[in-house]
Amino acid sequence: MNYIEYDDYIEVLDTKNFNIKQTLECGQVFRFKVQDFGYTVYSLNHKADIYCQNNTIKIFTKDKKYFINYFDFCTNYDKIKSSLSVYHYLKPAIEFGSGIRILRSNPLEMVIEFIISQNNNIPRIKTIIEKICEAYGEKIEDFYAFPTLEKLKSIPLEFFKSIKCGYRDKYLFETIAMLNSEVFLDDLYDMSTEDARKELMKLKGVGRKVADCILLFGYHKTDVFPTDTWIVQAYNKINKNCSNDAIKISNYFTKIFGELSGYAQQYLFYQMREN
């Protein structure tokens, strides 16, 4: 990824491989705001303003190193797209979402956010997350950080009920209680994808799809293929049959795409949802 670091911002030179709208709005993250100048993104206790004007992209932030990693700027997406374009049904999806990058988000944040995301709509997901941050996150200038695990563990079940988490309130409360320390989450980095998935699925409210989202977006384990209704539709369109077996479909795609499964999933998901 070609970019230049200045004192207070990063200028992205390789704009064909970085579309901020596609990256933020393809279902992998919820803590962002649409602005007149582009977008504001929040991750843990970090903030970045992304200016998209006159065919240029400038990322203004005090945490340049953090966001260079967060936006996955060290990965060669030209190579990934070239490898995946050999699949005739995937090429149109890659062209449609050519600027998508898989973010490197924090695992704890992903656990909480994707439990909230189950059978939920994006505006409501974002509102719930923001209320949690405002109530229990540290105030940093003009925004609230995502709460630490210590702060999350102080949240009573009644609070999750009060912000209308629905049936997810008990999942959040019980999962947070199960996380004795962030060491558990850190250990998953070194596990195989299969073993890490099994550990995540021990948490309340974490099934196969949510676990795979956490593995892909929180741990950058790209040999997973999160499968929801949009991916089911894509599978049936590609194979001209009818199956609703999400695990079967996920395994089908990961067998084909291997270590590039997560990238393929994002291209297919974004194309199906937007068209």
The three state secondary structure string of 163-198 is: CCCCCHHHHHHHHHHHCCCHHHHHHHHHCCHHHHHH
Q: Which of 201, 219, 237 is the last residue of a domain?
A: 219
Tell whether 145 is covered by a domain.
Answer: yes
Do 121 and 70 fall within a single domain?
A: no
Tell whether 82 is covered by a domain.
Answer: no
Range of the domain at 126: 107-219
Q: Which of 219, 242, 268 is the last residue of a domain?
A: 219
The pLDDT, as a whole number, for residue 206 is: 95
Do 201 and 121 fall within a single domain?
A: yes
Distance of alpha carbon 64 from its chain centroid, rounded? 20
Q: What is the C-alpha separation between 77 and 207, in angstroms, rounded?
A: 29
Q: How many domains does the chain have?
A: 2
Query: Averaged over 128-153, what is the pLDDT?
Result: 97
List pLDDT tens digits, range 250-267: 999 999 999 999 999 999
Tell whether 118 is covered by a domain.
Answer: yes
List pLDDT tens digits, range 157-193: 999 999 999 999 999 999 999 987 655 888 999 999 9
Tell whether 260 is covered by a domain.
Answer: no
List pLDDT tens digits, range 54-113: 889 999 999 999 999 999 999 999 999 999 999 999 999 999 999 999 999 999 999 999
Tell whether 262 is covered by a domain.
Answer: no
Q: Which of 171, 196, 219 is the last residue of a domain?
A: 219
The CATH number of the domain where 70 resides is what?
3.30.310.260
What's the pTM value of the predicted model, to 2 decimals? 0.95
